Structure 1
Amino acid sequence: MPHLLAVCVVHALLPDPGSVGVTAIDKRPVDGPVRVGRYGLRGDVQADRRDHGGEERAVYAYGEDDAVWWATELGRDLTHGWFGENLRVAGLDPSVARVGDRWRVGEHVVLEVTGPRVPCATFGRWVGGDAERGWVRRFRDTGRVGAYLRVVQTGAVSAGDPVVVEHTALDAPTVRDVLAR
């Protein structure tokens, strides 16, 4: 059954030479339940809400299978939160979810897939700049980008919570389809 491996929130705001001046990409797992509101997880920050936040991109989910694939590709351990994700999910691939799919996470939280994470220069710098030259394009071109979700129903989530796809938008494009446009 699909479930949450980790719930991650910002560990620290870091200086970043991008237009915002800081980044909140340093996400780390937290223990216990975390409240989920309209704009995401309590204790989390989105430094650039225009591109990586707001109600339509309140929560970022990344799949464990893709994380394991990248760990092999890069030859390094990629801990939960390494992709800047709020939710690390096992048994469900956010990159092939359909826009409009609804997921029940735990008992009360309902999330709706809104689209792909489009990698940015900040993510490239986080991954290693020159050490991973071309990272942004490489990450995007694989289609293993994860999904942004909006919060339909608030509540709390914890690592280990089941993730149930309650509604599938059968005629909607997948996250990967939207990314390829």
Structure 2
Amino acid sequence: MESGSVLAVCRVHQLVGDQGDVGVTAIDKRPAHGPVKVHKLGLRGDIQANRAHHGGEDQAVYAYSQADADFWAGVLGRELPPGVFGENLRVSGIETTHAVIGERWTVGSGVELEVTSPRTPCATFQRRMKEPQWVKRFTEEGRVGTYLRVIRTGSIQAGDSIQRTFVPAHGVTIGKWFSEPDVKVIEALRGAEADGEIRLQDEYHTKFEVLLRRLGK
């Protein structure tokens, strides 16, 4: 199966003031030096300021591909170092937006991660990037990266290999669910969960009902 590598492991550098409801944000992630322990709620030393919308076991780690960062660097005309997207892992060789929901990665000497859901851009992210209409642009482009669930804990560091060890047969990618959800996608995900192939976080089922009502199903 496809393999890749960890370019940087990023965690919060400092909380910074923000105009959102919480008043601060932990989006300022920067590369750590050396191994970083990974537990069920994410990286040791990392936090989420707004836990109503971020964090938890289903969104313990956020990964973003270097290929997508390079795309945005070209569009914006500036360097976008690891952590600038608020990501915990900047990765190479694996396209996070094209990861199949429920696929699993083994990182380094044994940390196991499971692809769960796409990142939904917010106003805090737009303020972080200081780009006009950033939420709209990021959404329309669909290069959103993926959240990951921690299946097996351990330590990871820059330079670690990433191996895709399991890819569900349903084939629905993070990008497909984010940009083109339809009845077939919903049926595929529901079927895979019913068969025990994947475990969807609760938010999926809420979105299924909303989408089906919108589609008149």
TM (normalized to structure 1)? 0.96
Report what 1:138 is aligned to. Answer: 137
Report what 2:39 is aligned to. Answer: 37
What's the secondary structure of 1:49's corresponding residue?
coil
Question: In the TM superposition, what are the counterparts of 1:99-110 in structure 2 within 5 Å?
Answer: 99-110=101-112
* Residue in structure 1 matching 2:53, options 44, 51, 54: 51
What's the secondary structure of 1:136's corresponding residue?
helix
Report what 2:152 is aligned to. Answer: 153
Q: Which amino acid aligns with 1:151?
A: V
State the 1:140 CA deviation: 1.3
Preserved CA contact (<8 Å) 1:100 1:172: no
Report what 1:81 is aligned to. Answer: 83
Q: Take 1:96 and 1:15, find their aligned partners in 2: how far apart are those partners? A: 33
What's the secondary structure of 2:71's corresponding residue?
helix
* Residue in structure 2 matching 1:116, options 118, 127, 130: 118
Report what 2:203 is aligned to. Answer: none
* Residue in structure 2 matching 1:66, options 65, 68, 74: 68
- Please give the per-residue CA displacement for 1:140-175, whole angstroms capped at 9, x wherever unaligned: 111111000010000000000000000001204210
* Residue in structure 2 matching 1:13, options 12, 15, 30: 15
Q: Take 1:95 and 1:170, find their aligned partners in 2: how far apart are those partners? A: 17
- Please give the per-residue CA displacement for 1:4-31, whole angstroms capped at 9, x wherever unaligned: 0000000000111111111000000011
State the 1:48 CA deviation: 1.6
Of 33-42 and 170-179, the range deviating more from structure 2: 170-179
Q: After TM superposition, where is structure 1 displaced by more than 3 Å over at least 4 residues in a row?
A: none
Unmatched tracts of structure 1, length 5 or more: none
Of 164-173 and 142-151, the range deviating more from structure 2: 164-173
State the 1:49 CA deviation: 2.1
Q: Which amino acid aligns with 1:92?
A: I
The question of 1:176 aligning with 2:178 is answered no
- How many residue pairs were aligned? 178
Q: Take 1:92 and 1:50, find their aligned partners in 2: how far apart are those partners? A: 29
Q: Which amino acid aligns with 2:52?
A: R
Unmatched tracts of structure 2, length 5 or more: 182-217
The alignment's C-alpha RMSD in Å is 0.9
- Please give the per-residue CA displacement for 1:21-68, whole angstroms capped at 9, x wherever unaligned: 110000000110000000000011111222221110000000000001
- What percentage of residue pairs aligned between the two structures are identical? 53
TM (normalized to structure 2)? 0.80
Q: Which amino acid aligns with 1:140?
A: T
- The higher radius of gyration belongs to 2
